[in-house]
Amino acid sequence: MPKRVLIADDEEDVKDVMQMFLEGEGYEVETAYDGLDALDRVRTFQPDVILLDIMMPVVDGIQVCRKLKSDEKTKHIPVIMVSAAAKREKEGEAYDAGAAAYVLKPFQPEELVRVVERCLAGRPKG
């Protein structure tokens, strides 16, 4: 049974290309267009890993991550922050919120896949 990945990003094109190559790698992918939508879909879709953009409307990625990590039902799901915000600005905040990894946009698609695989194996840092 394929592993499930939830992608939350308000940038339509970014979300589309990520979905396409993760599906190409054999994952089952669902997308959310903002933070609130992401929280809803975590409940219905029950992903194995979540890719969160940070700067999203309504509820930003950091807040979504905090909410997921404070909920018994979702705290075990690894969260990967995928953001165009410079690492020095947001990385610390992301890890403090409980993120397992931080991927800076633009990224090598293979690199994203490697991070997803490591998180699923429980070794986010490699």
Partner 1 sequence: MIRAKPSEAPFDGFRGCRARGYPRGRRLTALNATSDQAFAALFARMGTVLAAAENLEDFYASSVELIGETLQVDGCSILLLDPEDQLLKVKASTSIPFAEWKTIRIRLGEGIAGKVAQSGRLLWSSDVEAIVGPREGAARRSRYKDPSFISVPVRLQGEVVGVINADSKRDGSKFSRFDVDQMEALAGLFSTVLATSRLLEERSRANRYFDSILQSIPMGVMAFNNALRLTQCNRAAADFLSFDVNLIAGAPANVVLPDPIRHRVLEMIVDLKTTGVPTCCEVEYAPRRGGPTVPLGLSAWALRDRDGSPSGVILVIEDLTLRREITELRQSSALKNHFLSLISHELRTPMTSIKGAVHLLMETRGMKSPPAQQRILDIIDRNVMRLAALVDDLLEVQLIETQKVELEREPVDIEGLVRECLESRRPLWHDKQVETHLEVRDGALGELRLDRDRIRHVFIHLIDNAFKFCSPGGKIEIRIDVGPKGLETRISNTGSPIPAKSRDQIFQKFYQVESTMTRQIGGSGLGLYLARELARLHGGDVLLERSDEEWTTFLARLPRDESQEDSRGAGT
Q: Which of residues 6 and 18 has its CB atom nearest to partner 1 in the complex?
A: 18
98 Cβ contact list (under 8 Å, min separation 6) = 65, 66, 68, 69, 75, 79
What is the SS3 assignment for 61?
A: helix
Q: Which of residues 84 and 121 has its CB atom nearest to partner 1 in the complex?
A: 84
Residue 34: CB minimum distance to partner 1, A: 8
Q: Which of residues 26 and 122 has its CB atom nearest to partner 1 in the complex?
A: 26
> What are the tokens at 49?
């890993």
Nearest to 81 by CA among 57, 109, 114, 115: 115
Q: Which residues bind partner 1 (CB under 8 A)?
A: 10-14, 16-18, 20-21, 24, 33-35, 53-60, 63, 84-86, 89, 104-109
Residue 95: CB minimum distance to partner 1, A: 19
The burial class, CB within 10 Å (0-12 / 13-18 / 19+), for 28 is middle
Residue 74: CB minimum distance to partner 1, A: 20
Q: Which of residues 17 and 73 has its CB atom nearest to partner 1 in the complex?
A: 17
